[in-house]
Amino acid sequence: MKIGFIGLGIMGRPMALNLHAAGHALAVPERASLTAELRAAATVLPTARAVAAASEVVILMVPDTADVEAALFGADGAAAGLGKGTLVIDMSSISPIATKDFARRVEALGCQYLDAPVSGGEVGAKQATLTIMVGGPVAAFDRAKPLFDLMGKNITHVGEANGAGQTCKVANQIIVALNIQAVAEALVFAAKAGADPAKVRQAISGGFAASRVLELHAERMLKGTFDPGFRIRLHQKDLNLALSAARELQMSLPNTAMAQQMFASCAAHGGAELDHSAMVLAIEGLGNCSLREKA
Contacts of 173 (CB under 8 A, 6+ apart): 93, 235, 238, 239, 241, 242
48 three-class SS = helix
Q: Nearest-CA neighbor of 29 among 50, 58, 1?
A: 50
Whole-angstrom Cα distance, residue 14 to residue 123?
A: 9
Alpha-carbon gap, residue 74 to 76, rounded angstroms: 6
For helices 138-151 and 12-21, what crossing angle results, to 10°? 90
Task: Look at residues 94, 246, 235, 257 and name the one whose alpha carbon lies nearest to residue 176.
Answer: 235
Strands 57-60 and 43-45: unpaired
Separation CA 259–CA 276 (nearest Å): 11
Question: Phi and psi (nearest 5°) for 25?
Answer: -80, 130
**Is 169 an annotated catalytic residue?**
yes
Q: Report which of 89, 17, 19, 21 is spatially closest to residue 58, judged by C-alpha positions.
A: 89
| Partner residues linked to 39 by β-bridges | none
Q: What is the rounded CA–CA span in Å between residue 95 and residue 108?
A: 20
Of the residues 84, 145, 153, 169, only one is catalytic, namely 169
Just list the catalytic residues.
Answer: 169
